[in-house]
Amino acid sequence: MKLNSEELRSLYQRETARSNRRSTSDCLTEDVLARAVAGELDQSARERVGDHLASCSDCAREFHATKSMKSWADGKARPIRFYVPYAIAASLFVVSLLLGALLILKSRENQRLVAEVNNRHDAETSESRRLLEETSKRAEQESAARRAAEEELAKRDAAAKSSPRQRSGQANVPIIDLSPQDSGRGDQNPKAATVQLSPDTDLFTLILNLAGEDSSRNYSLEVTDRTNRPIWTTRNLRKSPYNNFTIALRRRTFPAGEYRLKIYGLRDGRRQLIEEYAIRLSY
């Protein structure tokens, strides 16, 4: 495809503009431009200026503007007698030079501001992308944890339905009322509260009372053995109107021994320990 002279000029100006370059520190200063137009540079400096003008359309435009003003000034500078009209013309020339310099400064300042805005926009875009990736990753982790909990609950429901003994009712189920102070609340190594059950006990219920009011949105329970190994975890714990929680445990899952029951509350998107109970089961 062939380009005409106007298209070639437009392509050169667009590709060599300061806004498309990473650094403008090598651009020509006003002093260098003036000396280049006046022919006051040595051979080496002229070659460097020429190389830069070939790669920077903004400096080339400023160079031609300065050169045009100098040519106009040279044409007006004739050895004639001083008259008022020439004084006015000289004043207008000085004003035009000042305006030209001001326009050059403004042009460079605008280009610098555009570059800063572009850099700020790129930084904000990168930060937004990073936050979006972190949010998506957190959502995937929470979804995976929720699926795992639902699968575990489904397994427990299936096991309960398959047991003939569980399908029928059970009488004389023991109910044990626990308070945090009864199980050494606040101690580093709390003394376990003994829960004595009859030898034929299969199912028993624990009432976990809170020491004070709590306003967490959701609650979960974690039961561990004396070595802090998780035995059972539930995220469907609901607080009763009496400021306590109830859970039912089976002997085959919780044989005789020591256990820790930890209640967690969800506050400001973070899980925090609300109460901890230490018990010793004895059959």
Work out the pLDDT band at 82, boundaries 50, 70, 90: very low
CA dihedral (14, 20, 26, 30) positive or negative:
positive
pLDDT of residue 10: 60
Find how far residue 98's CA is from the centre of its chain. 48
The stretch 2-27 carries a mean pLDDT of: 59
- Of 96, 46, 102, 99, the residue nearest 73 (C-alpha): 96
89-132 pLDDT per residue, tens: 666 666 666 777 777 777 778 788 888 888 888 888 888 888 88
Which domains does the chain possess?
Answer: 5-127 (no CATH), 174-282 (2.60.40.1220)
Answer yes or no: is pLDDT of 274 > 70: yes
The stretch 65-72 carries a mean pLDDT of: 72
Answer yes or no: is pLDDT of 80 > 50: no
Q: Greater confidence, 224 or 23? A: 224
Q: Are 58 and 29 in contact (CB under 8 A)?
A: no
The DSSP string of 145-192 is HHHHHHHHHHHHHHHHHH-HHHHS---S--EEEE-GGGGTTT-SSPPP
Neighbours of 33 (CB within 10 A): 21
Quote helix, strand, coil % in the chain, to nearest 5: 50, 20, 30
Structure tokens at 262: 């930890």
Backbone torsions φ then ψ of 238, nearest 5 degrees = -120, 135
Structure tokens at 174: 């023991």
Percent of the chain with pLDDT over 70: 74
pLDDT of residue 81: 45
pLDDT of residue 55: 78
